[in-house]
Amino acid sequence: MKALQINNEGSVQVAEIGKPTVGTGEILLRIKYVGFCGSDLNTYLGRNPMVKMPVIPGHEVGAVIEEIGEGVPAGFIKGMNVTVNPYTNCGKCASCRNGRVNACEHNETLGVQRNGSMQEYLVLPWNKVIPATGLSEKECALIEPMSVGFHAVSRAQVTDIDTVVVIGCGMIGLGAIVRANLRGAHVIAIDLDDEKLELAKRLGAKDAINSKTDNVVERVKEITDGYMADVVIEAVGSPVTYVTAIDIVAFTGRVVCIGYAKSEVSFQTKYFVQKELDIRGSRNAMPEDFRAVIQYLQNGTCPKDELISAVVKPEQAGDILKTWSENPGKVFRILVEF
């Protein structure tokens, strides 16, 4: 069967590999669409230290159930559209003992620490397959990245009396905007790109700030009548945005960090103490976050076509990754169609 493989920095090929067979407690999936995410781009650029080359990328999946193995409980039907939970958990580390399996110390995400889903067929344990009734295969491929943003909002414990600032309006940041809006919060979106900010407003942001042209601190102060943001969600991963998050969060506010900064970040740590801040990481997503995204997509209000920047065949993946690397700010999701 056909599989997409990243061999080393800048090198992508379509390889022929053996088709997997389904075992007890497993489900065989026919892969339809897989999204490229930032970790895949970093793998292509040779900047992902968690990946051992060569690797099959991809963990944002839209698939169809092809075959069901023995011992799989009722509820899974051949031909059903599904997505997948691409993470593993050991069940023994501190995170797992505390029920936060999304942050397992020994997690292996598809396409990162182990081969991923950019192949024609994939076998997974049944409990990693998530039915998505009423959604298309393309919509299924959007569930996982949006769930990461949804999870950040849960980590922030957002309520309807909060003002929430989301820094970064990529796919994950947009997920955070949607979820915070669904919880009734006043959402402020920050990005460098006006097109992304316009989409953020259609997805629920009440205000938009272009950090390239506006004074972010002054605009947040103006919008919040001087109180600043109850919650700031950092969804970029740069030293500048990490520091901005601390600058614009209110006294006793919450800062939730999704993005990985690639270099060290220098803080005025006095603000941690003076503001008595809660600073929280947010990693991956929980099953309830997947369910919440599915419910949101099922209601039909998401402009999903605007979230898909391109759909390509595996043979075009190398070219599209090169194009993306040259202009990363203009891409939401690129789907590879099998």
Residue ranges per domain, the chain? 2-131+303-337, 148-281
Rounded mean pLDDT, 6-35: 97
Phi, psi of 70 (to 5 degrees): -65, 150
Q: Give the model's pLDDT for residue 77.
A: 98
HEC secondary structure over 176-210: HHHHHHHCCCEEEEEECCHHHHHHHHHCCCCEEEE
pLDDT at 50 > cutoff 90: no
Rounded (10°) angle between helices 287-298 and 137-155: 120
145 preceded by a cis bond (ω within 30 of 0): no
Residue 330: band (very low, low, confident or very high) from pLDDT cuts 50, 70, 90: confident
Q: Give the model's pLDDT for residue 328.
A: 83
- For residue 318, how many other CB atoms are within 10 A of its CB? 18
Which residue in this structure is represented by tokens 């690129």? 334
> Which residue from 237, 220, 242, 238 is spatially nearest to 229, judged by alpha carbons?
220
Instruction: Give the number of C-alpha atoms closer than 13 A to the C-alpha of residue 262, restricted to the C-beta side.
Output: 8
Answer whether 284's CB lies under 8 Å from 87's CB. yes
Q: 189: burial class by Cβ within 10 Å (0-12, 13-18, 19+)? A: buried
* Cα 279-200-62 angle, rounded to 5 deg: 90
Rounded mean pLDDT, 132-149: 97
Predicted TM-score of the model (pTM): 0.96
**Distance between CA atoms of 211 and 138, rounded to whole angstroms?**
32
Phi, psi of 287 (to 5 degrees): -55, -35
Helices of type H across the chain: 38-44, 94-97, 137-155, 171-182, 194-202, 216-223, 239-248, 270-274, 287-298, 304-307, 317-326
User: Percentage of the chain with pLDDT > 70?
Assistant: 100
CA quadruple 49, 54, 56, 60: dihedral, nearest 10: 10
Which residue in this structure is represented by tokens 């490229």? 36
Q: How far is CA 191 from CA 149, 219, 333, in A?
A: 15, 13, 17
Characterise 73 by phi-psi region: left (phi > 0), alpha (psi -120 to 50), beta (else). beta
DSSP 171: H
Q: Which residues have a Cβ under 8 Å from the Cβ of 196 and sit 6 or more positions away?
A: 169, 170, 329
Over the stretch 269-292, which tens digit does the pLDDT of each residue have? 999 999 999 999 999 999 999 999
**Radius of gyration of the chain, Cα coordinates, nearest whole angstrom:** 20
Over the stretch 236-245, which tens digit does the pLDDT of each residue have? 999 999 999 9
Q: How far apart are the first and last CA of the chain?
A: 11
Q: 135: burial class by Cβ within 10 Å (0-12, 13-18, 19+)? A: buried
Q: Give the model's pLDDT for residue 49.
A: 87
HEC secondary structure over 116-155: CCCECEEEEEHHHEEECCCCCHHHHHHHHHHHHHHHHHHH
Q: Domain 148-281, what fold?
A: Rossmann fold (3.40.50)
Q: Give the model's pLDDT for residue 329.
A: 81
User: Percentage of the chain with pLDDT > 90?
Assistant: 95
CATH of the domain spanning 2-131+303-337, picked from 2.60.40.10, 3.30.1300.10, 3.30.70.870, 3.90.180.10: 3.90.180.10
**Distance between CA atoms of 38 and 333, rounded to whole angstroms?**
9
